A and B are shown apart, each in its own frame.
Chain A
Amino acid sequence: MYSRKVELAVGGFVLLGIGALFLLALEVSGLSLSPGKQTYTLIAEFDDVGGLRPRGKVSLAGVTIGQVTSITLDRESLKARVEMAIDTEVDYISTDSIAVISTSGLLGDKYVDVSIGGDLETLENGDYFYSTQSALNLEKLISTFATSQM
């Protein structure tokens, strides 16, 4: 029969569903509630991005400091142009830093690792990384290894 119990149960059910959506958003997809973290853009050109994708992590000493926003091919240099959104708080990336594409684990995701240089000046919005190091290409590595053995 229609009663308070039914109303309460339905209310609980709807709350449970909405709670699940919040959990999916915050815990599972890591959406942050604070409206859009402030970021600035840095650009790096790689010879080979080898499997790096937009939304890939950018990390410094293993700590995530931003993410890859776009990967395009540069017409002139024929290199892969990778744009990254870096948290504004991280405003101490020196101009001679190197962007390295690394892999988490043997077959894991590709991410951009930033190794800090020693310069006193820091990179600002729209700046290019001074130097980059491309993805470790397993096949190339093996073939080099094989030929040097001969």
Chain B
Amino acid sequence: MSLWLQQIGRQTLHRLATLGRSALFLAGGALFIPRLIFSRLFIQQLFSTGVLSLLIIIVSGLFIGMVLGLQGYTILVDYGSEQAIGQMIALTLVRELGPVVTALLFAGRAGSALTAEIGLMKATEQLSSLEMMGVDPLRQVIAPRLIAGFLALPLLAMIFSIVGIWGGKMVGVDWLGVYEGAFWSNMQSAVDFSDDVLNGVIKSIVFGVVCTWIAVFQGYDCVPTSEGISASTTRTVVYSSLAVLGLDFVLTAVMFGEF
């Protein structure tokens, strides 16, 4: 019994210590961000986190939008209000699916790559060798990746939403024959810029910070062996997904809940 309690205590302390370390790490890395805007390092990272994730984001966005159009139509047509699919698709994407699905895909595509890359740099002593050259790895390696991730996810989420709405319009209007004027005007009267679009963007910024933070920290903190790197990569995807879904509920409650 006391052993069991001790185990709980030790685990808790260990988790807390890791959390503290990761917070310090984030603060340390963020300190360098202002000096890095538009530096080569940052642009290089924006390329590998943002541009390279573009394909998966566009393809998934298109399909999700098309599915929304199809499902929305079959449900709404029974009530004769199939013209409302415009607002249904737009609101679902802008408020929820855009930020959330993008963040999940980002964690899988860019997050795992970040963890593996940094873990490998640690395992091959590249991080140590930077330190020994008098270059702070937080500045050279971590900060550019942090800022690139912070920026890439909101951009990707907005692209995802637009592509999704376009996909929904393709199915609803071009294929199933919903009147296009009603599709757009319903959407425009239902979607509010600050309540819906901006809140969605805020969500995606929060997810961007959390996902990148987790990915980069897991890489930096990994056990520098092959097993350690693969375990950290898995943890990045699992933790990011859980954090995104949990935070999404909290943010939704704060932003859209009426109490």
Contacts and interface: CB of A to CB of B under 8 A. Distances in A.
A6 B47 CA distance: 6
B51 A13 contact: yes
A106 B80 contact: yes
B165 A28 contact: yes
Interface in A108-149: 108-109
Nearest to B201: A21
A37 interface: no
Interface string B169-208: 0000000000000001111111111001100010000000
A29 to B, nearest CB: 4
B156 interface: yes
Given A25-B193, A28-B188, A7 B81 contact: no
A25 B162 CA distance: 11
Contacts of B51: 9-10, 12-13
A55 B155 contact: no
Interface in B10-64: 40, 43-44, 46-47, 50-51, 54
A28 B159 contact: no
Given A2-B40, A6-B44, A31-B193, A13 B83 contact: no
Contacts, number: 94
B189 A55 contact: yes
Contacts of A7: 43
A108 B47 contact: no
- Interface residue SS majority, chain B: helix
Contact of A13 (B50, B90, B188, B193): B50
Interface residues of A, number: 30
Contacts of B43: 2, 6-7, 10
Interface in A4-37: 6-7, 9-10, 12-14, 16-18, 20-21, 23-25, 27-31
B192 A20 contact: no
Contact of A17 (B94, B156, B193): B156
Contact of B162 (A9, A20, A64): A20
B211 to A, nearest CB: 17
- Interface residue SS majority, chain A: helix
Interface string A42-64: 00000000000001110000001
Nearest to A9: B51
B161 interface: yes
Contact of B189 (A16, A31, A109): A109
B162 A23 contact: yes
Nearest to A23: B162
Interface string B50-91: 110010000000000000000000000001110110000010
Nearest to B86: A28
A20 B79 CA distance: 32
Contact of A24 (B50, B161, B190): B161
B108 interface: no
Contacts of B165: 28
14 contacts: A6-B43, A14-B155, A18-B155, A21-B201, A24-B161, A24-B197, A27-B184, A28-B162, A30-B189, A31-B193, A105-B79, A105-B83, A106-B80, A108-B81
Given A9-B47, A10-B50, A25-B193, 6 more contacts: A20-B161, A27-B184, A29-B188, A55-B189, A106-B81, A107-B81
Interface of A: 2, 6-7, 9-10, 12-14, 16-18, 20-21, 23-25, 27-31, 55-57, 64, 105-109
